[in-house]
Amino acid sequence: MRIVAFGEGMIEVAGRIGATSVLGYGGDVLNVAVALARLGLAPAFMTALGVDPWSDELAAAWGAEGIDLSLLARHPARAPGLYGVRTDANGERSFTYWRSGSAARAFFELPESEALIARAADADLLFLSGITLSLFGPAERQRIAELAAQVRSRGGSVAFDPNYRPAGWESARAAANAFAAFAPRVDIALPTAADERLLHGEDDAAEAVLARWRNAGAREVAVKLGREGAMVWSAGELRRVPAEEVTPVDTTGAGDAFDAGYLAARLAGRPPPEAASFGARLAGETIRHPGAIPPRDAVARFTLAAS
């Protein structure tokens, strides 16, 4: 089973000036890749880094997690993006980004990009997000759509988390149009209800989110509902899956953990409701810890054999 995750990995700074800060790494697609690797699936992460020491350290850390770096490009003049994260008393996070000149954004400018994309087209599962699309312009997004079509034509599947972040788009309409254009290439849609309401309006209920992706052609949809769990649709069956009660320390990466758990369980042949339950439990453990990626030992007990 060959999994390709396409997106951006960044340096993560957690803490405050004048206090102890912690350097880590994160990025929605990268978070999913790390979680999948910890579940034994060895995904390939397609992205670009620089040739600087920070890039080398990121690549070494990702490789140590079990991520396949054979689709990693190197930009001769750009460095990784960076984001700062802060949490409030309820564990809700806020972000500040420094990523406009990152190496990942210049992926398609690199001479090796087409060869890497050609190799990615053989994936059994391609995973990407709305943030992936936001990194690039219309021509590059069309190339990503072509990659998704190639994966599907060769018998693979495409999983997509819209993951709408307003700061990455010139307007909500631009994001909605980009997602709608990509939607017909999606087999497994993993939207978050709160993000979709932000994009489409406060009256956009979970059922409407599900219907929108189903009507676009997705064969299964798992709508993440935060504390309320998830709503899952597949093969004409609609199920609500509850989440465990958790007191969050940091909600960063919760949706990414759900995505990874859901996809890993589905690849193992588990039915969608069971996959959503596994994803919800993995997300619940993730938000008990600071940062986008929890300590390895904190999630070691989450195995599909024990799900």
Distance CA 256, CA 258 (A): 5
The tens digit of pLDDT for each residue in 25-63 reads 999 999 999 999 999 999 999 999 999 999 999 999 999
Give the closest residue to 162 by CA, choosing from 116, 204, 203: 204
Residues of the chain with pLDDT under 70: 91, 203-204, 305-307
71: domain CATH number?
Answer: 3.40.1190.20
Annotation marks residue 256 as catalytic: yes
Number of other CB atoms surrounding residue 20 within 10 Å? 7
Q: Cα dist. 292→124, 160, 180, 270 in Å?
A: 26, 19, 28, 26
How many domains is the chain built from? 1
Contacts of 290 (CB under 8 A, 6+ apart): 14, 22, 87, 249, 250, 252
* Residue 259 lies in domain: 3-306
For residue 307, the model assigns a pLDDT of 44
CA atoms within 13 A on the CB side of 266: 26
For residue 5, the model assigns a pLDDT of 98
- Helix (H/G/I), strand (E/B), else coil: 77: coil
For residue 253, the model assigns a pLDDT of 87
What whole-number percentage of the chain has pLDDT above 90? 76
Which of 250, 256, 259, 297 is the catalytic position? Answer: 256
Distance CA 145, CA 193 (A): 24
The tens digit of pLDDT for each residue in 208-225 reads 999 999 999 999 999 999
Tell me the pTM.
Answer: 0.94
